Amino acid sequence: MQGQSKPKPRILTTLAELRVARRAMPGLVGVVPTMGFLHEGHASLMRRARTECATVVATNFVNPAQFGPREDFSRYPRDMDADTRLCEREGVDYVYAPSVDTVYPSGFATTVDVAGVSARWEGEYRPGHFHGVATVVAKLLIATGANRAYFGEKDFQQLQVVRRLAIDLDLPVEIVACPTVREADGLARSSRNVYLTDDDRRRALSISQALFAARDACKAGERRAAKLGESVRSLVTDAGLAIDYVAVVDRDTLEPIEVFDRAGRILIAARVGSTRLIDNIGLEC
């Protein structure tokens, strides 16, 4: 009936609750793993899952294992009430929001290490990060019994790590990649955007602008990876950002390439003020 409100998602906080609920879930189960403080990027994943699956589960867990000792775990933004409203709006059936003790109980001693695609870039600048990501994603995919799991391309290296994880561990789940969602001015949606001052945000636009310019140069005939990478680096540095890396890589292996003779990706991590942002763009020149 038009105007009828959508049912609220059921909030599950324990593994026992999740297991009971999972047995009653009909059809294909689509899972959207998140760390909360949800935005339009997360909403787009939920909408995709809603169109493809009979049951949609969003997970909401700020994973301490993927934060380094000097990173922002303690101040990472959280708003469970707002997150629940967004999940309700997008037709999510269940929200699994476990505590840290539920995910990592006393005596927990197992870590998942995905070699190869995790070694460079974020893996180098955030030691241990992908151990934490791979471990929690494996646990969540197993616990939810996901048939499909939805990840954004904005965290492209994470997406490739999760794909490798699912293949290597024989997990019966399809990893579904969804396009990066951007603000109208091009800034990639991120929960960390809340940290940006007005000036920070203005300067942060140089990241997407540089990526778009590189994509256009590639389409116009520039095939030299070094040239494309340097153009990104120059534009972002000129805006006053501190760059951790600009990487021009093979789309699948994430290894550096010299010439675009295959599908590739440009990855970037940079700091504006106290906020570290990542972004990327696909190149099929």
- Name the residues annotated as catalytic: 42
Q: Rg (Cα) of the chain, in Å, rounded?
A: 19
Residue closest to 94 by CA, chosen among 154, 23, 189: 23
| Dihedral, CA of residue 197, residue 58, residue 133 and residue 212, to nearest 10 | -50
CB–CB of 228/264 below 8 Å? no
DSSP-derived letter for residue 145 is T
CB–CB of 157/118 below 8 Å? yes
Burial track 210-244 (b if 16+ CB lie within 10 A, e otherwise): bbeebbebbeeebbebeebbebbbebbeebebeeb
Residue closest to 254 by CA, chosen among 85, 60, 123, 147: 123
Residues in the chain: 285
* CA–CA distances in Å: residue 73 to residues 19, 61, 68, 77, 89: 28, 12, 8, 9, 27
The vertex-128 CA angle with 124 and 134, nearest 5°, equals 110
What CA–CA distance (Å, rounded) separates 49 from 29? 9
Token code pair at residue 260: 């675009």
